[in-house]
Amino acid sequence: MLKKERADYVLNKLQALYPETPIPLDHKDEYTLLIAVLLSAQCTDERVNQVTPALFALADTPQKMVKQSVESIRNIIKPCGLSPRKSAAIHRLSEILLEQHDGHVPESFSELEALPGVGHKTASVVMSQGFGHPAFPVDTHIHRLAQRWGLSKGRNVEQTEADLKKLFPEAYWNRLHLQIIYYGREYCTARGCDGTVCPMCRALYPNRKTPPKVNKA
Ligand code: SF4
């Protein structure tokens, strides 16, 4: 199969497997989504969803969040890891939203990425899932699957994002991001695989004899 044929196969297969694409992180608006995505760095969505009810009961708006001490935020979000950095970022970004954005989450990559604790991937998730703009957030899991399916040889998540955006129509980016995550969780975990156990890889590489090489992100 050519790369474009592999991309078309993946697109159709994922559409069939996951016709619905619910957002994994519980939230009620752009602000709570932004906080949940920030907390999900190096943490599972499941754990974030266990922690955010208590955090949002305390403060679910920037106005309420700035009234909390960094320490009290930190105590609640501890199970998510990196709590000193994440709590400081949540407090400071809430101040910035009030100072510079009338208390709203800005709807642009540059303004989002200027917030503390918000990198390109977090901004992409908020632009995509919060505002519905086309984006293709790539984390290490999507990077790994793109390599195993022969859709990218990127050496980092930025290269992989550029490759995937070229391969798939823009209208599918938002849902594909989620569908690849679902597939990775269900079938293709971080553990090594010989690249032949799933119908997906068998269809993409019917003659595969050796495990696919994966560049670390
Ligand atoms: S065969 Fe292995 S590498 Fe391919 S999709 Fe399945 S688990 Fe992932």
Give the model confidence (pLDDT) of 143-170 as tens digits: 999 999 999 999 999 999 999 999 999 9
Q: How far is CA 71 from CA 36, 49, 90, 92, in A?
A: 18, 20, 11, 13
Closest residue by Cα to atom 7, ligand 1, is 188
Distance CA 53, CA 92 (A): 20
Q: Are residues 85 and 125 located together in one domain of the fold?
A: yes
Contact 136/166 with Cβ under 8 angstroms?
no
Domain holding 50, by residue range, is 30-130
Cα atoms in the Cβ-side hemisphere of radius 13 Å centred on 4? 2
Q: Nearest residue CA, atom 3 of ligand 1?
A: 195
pTM score, two decimals? Answer: 0.93
Flag whether 51 is in a domain.
Answer: yes
Could you say which of 72, 107, 130 is where a domain stops?
130
Taken as a whole, the chain contains a residue count of 217
Percent of the chain that is helix, strand, coil (3-state, to 5): 60, 0, 40
Q: Per residue in 111-120, pLDDT tens?
A: 999 999 999 9
Tell me which of 130, 146, 172 is where a domain ends: 130
* 210 part of a folded domain: no
Confidence of residue 191 (pLDDT cuts 50, 70, 90): confident
Q: How far is the CA of 136 from the centre of ligand 1 (A)?
A: 21
Q: Measured between alpha carbons, how far is 127 from 134 in angstroms, rounded to an integer?
A: 7
Query: Domain with 57 in it: what CATH number?
Result: 1.10.340.30
